[in-house]
A and B are shown apart, each in its own frame.
Chain A
Amino acid sequence: MNIPATDAPDVIRVEGVTKVYHMGSQTVHALRGVDLRVKRGEMIAVMGHSGSGKSTLMNMLGCLDVPTSGDYYLDGVRVNGLSRNQLADLRNQKLGFVFQGFNLLARTSALENVELPLLYDRSGTKRDTRALAQHSLERVGLGQRVDHHPSELSGGQQQRVAIARALVTAPTVLLADEPTGNLDSRTSIEIMALFQELNEEGVTILIVTHEPDIACYAKRLVEVRDGRILRDEPVKDRRIASEDLKTLVAEPA
């Protein structure tokens, strides 16, 4: 892959990005000029109501969509102007996705699901994909369930498999889109505890959510409204998920 690099220190640098959709005769301004910088090791919560533009921003950051105008640099690589194939390679090498609906392949074991991104790797490096997938599953606490299929796992376990899949390529940024949206509150906190643990290990994490209870586990809060960033500030009273879990154990289930 031949992607020109600049020596920007930020892993994500978004400058004056706009996105305009044409839906029939209507023109929708989903993003109206967004600036955002993310440094390595940050844990950011992106909040906003539906229609605020946070999904569009997420798609853009995830290299699934390209901006109408403005610049986006991911790990020093200028993303706008890249071809479909280059975007695919970038997603494969620099990004890890965690979705609300887990999005695992059914009838495929946990191990094979986690191995999948490595199989699409085109960098040519020879790796033991099985061992890497196994290691990644152990990292999210599912080392004993590698042969289980998604249907045999609970929602929380499925999301852990999805996180293992996102981590297996050692991405620059982990993007999580409403990762706790389909989970009960206890499991949600467990997943947030895992995110905090991974963040402690140095993984840069960006979580899109509309729940303030979830956002309070991040270090930094970005609020999007009407296609603009309304608020960008450190989280006050940041909560630690593992401690919240201990309190929960004390209470009756």
Chain B
Amino acid sequence: MRTSTLLKIATQSILKNKMRTFLTMLGIVIGVAAVIVMVAIGYGAQESIQKQIGSLGTNMIIVMPGASTAGGVNQGAATFNRLTPADYEKLHRESLMLNAVSPVVFTQAQAISGSGNWRTRIQGVSTDYQTIRDWPVDQGTFFTEADLRSARKVAVLGTTVAKSLFPNDDPIGQQMQIRDVPFTVMGVLRSKGQNAGGQDADDIIIVPFTTAQTRLSGRQRVNQIIGSTSSPQDVPAAQEEIRSIMRESHKLGDGDDDDFTIRTQDEIAAAASSTTKVMTLLLAAIASISLLVGGIGIMNIMLVSVTERTREIGIRMAIGARGSDVLTQFLVESVAISVLGGLIGVAIGFGGAAIVGHVTGWTTATPPQAVAIAVAFSAAVGVFFGFYPARQAASLNPIQALRYE
């Protein structure tokens, strides 16, 4: 039998019982729509987490002092504190891959203002820090190259520090003291909330690293050098470049191990994305159950339909339909119902995802392959759940089928 004839027979039979077909289809529609919405929420979560990690700086590369291993024995990081401003300057001058690079000098101290005091982390950095951390200033300004060169006593505050030290006043231009050194507040950073480690990222004071070295830590060494590339794809190449510049800077011979460690945020990003992938899969699996229930609905209706149309099957067999012809006819019918339901489900799923996104403010994203998978899956449901009733029909005895009232 020709495909067009089969499709025509299926269409006729589907249209014959519009209400019943609609209700049968509804199971598949709801199933597919649920899968699409759940996948959209999962993918949305994945995308927004990726974006957050991106804002932490997925492109960020951290150079830390100390070799992770030396002669096969793990020495632990920071065994030798051998990062200097000279290393930073060499990277700054020679690196082609990095679009920004900054030394980081860490210290902890009590900050005191006229109206409060607060113990916090203090980081001495260069002007590139803003680019590397993708962290703009909300009020006031960041310090400049000139401030850096002349080691001026200026500070940029995180919002937590700003609120603690200047609860009632505009902090810009105010005076404060760190270890008895007077600083002028130049700006307040935009709030970042918790960082990846669960700490309050806004509990921080940023000062020029030159000032930090001379006025606060009193040491020449720097704790870290951080840098970033313009795109995440450049990170591995940049890592190699940093390594060779650093080895040169530290005058390491061919046989010597690195006396520094280079870290990227790739691992964090990978862990986070695998978590959301599992979540997406879980949501889709739960939604698939409704698709399964829809499939059972199809099987139920097809069985009823086979019983109802026993006589028709008998007629078809009497005039020469083979069992396989009858089987195909009923399979085409159940697949047509499920695929049509699947397509409607995709449309409703897209709408539903948009509504969920709008109402909850979550990011939702539907990958195009999800549509293809949903439709293919609903067709598979049609074949799977349609097969048993179709086989029942095909194995009918024509004599009994013709006599059926």
Contacts and interface: CB of A to CB of B under 8 A. Distances in A.
A103 B314 CA distance: 9
B312 A91 contact: no
Interface residues of A, number: 26
Interface in A220-248: none
B320 A91 contact: yes
Contacts of B5: 119
Contact of A89 (B1, B315, B320): B320
Contacts of B314: 103
A97 B318 contact: yes
B322 A88 contact: yes
B18 interface: no
A120 B399 contact: no
Most buried by A among B312, B320, B321, B324: B320
A119 B399 contact: no
Contacts of B303: none
Chain B binding surface SS class:
helix
Contacts of A121: 320
B322 A84 contact: yes
Nearest to A116: B319
B155 interface: no
Nearest to B15: A107
B12 A103 contact: no
Contacts of A187: none
Interface residues of B, number: 22
Interface string B304-344: 00000001101111111111110000000000000000000
B2 A119 contact: yes
A88 B321 contact: yes
Contacts, number: 59
A91 B1 contact: no
Most buried by A among B12, B16, B322, B323: B322
A230 B312 CA distance: 35
Most buried by B among A89, A99, A119: A119
B12 to A, nearest CB: 6
B402 interface: yes
A110 to B, nearest CB: 15
A121 B317 CA distance: 12
B12 A120 contact: no
Interface in B244-266: none
A116 B6 CA distance: 12
A166 to B, nearest CB: 8
A121 B1 CA distance: 8
A99 B320 contact: no
Contacts of A108: 12
B322 A103 contact: no
B398 interface: yes
Interface in A83-109: 84-85, 88-89, 91-93, 97, 99, 103-105, 107-108
A117 interface: yes
B320 A165 contact: no
A108 B1 CA distance: 17
A64 B399 contact: yes
A62 B315 CA distance: 13
Given A107-B16, A119-B1, A85 B323 contact: yes
A65 interface: yes
Given A103-B402, A120-B316, A89 B322 contact: yes
Interface in B1-39: 1-2, 5, 12, 16
A64 B399 CA distance: 6
29 contacts: A59-B399, A64-B318, A65-B399, A84-B322, A84-B323, A85-B324, A88-B320, A88-B321, A88-B322, A89-B320, A91-B317, A91-B319, A91-B320, A92-B319, A92-B321, A99-B402, A103-B311, A103-B314, A104-B315, A105-B315, A107-B12, A117-B319, A119-B1, A120-B316, A120-B319, A120-B321, A122-B322, A165-B319, A169-B320
Given A91-B320, A92-B319, A119-B5, 9 more contacts: A64-B318, A64-B399, A84-B322, A85-B322, A99-B402, A103-B314, A103-B315, A116-B316, A120-B325
Interface of B: 1-2, 5, 12, 16, 311-312, 314-325, 398-399, 402
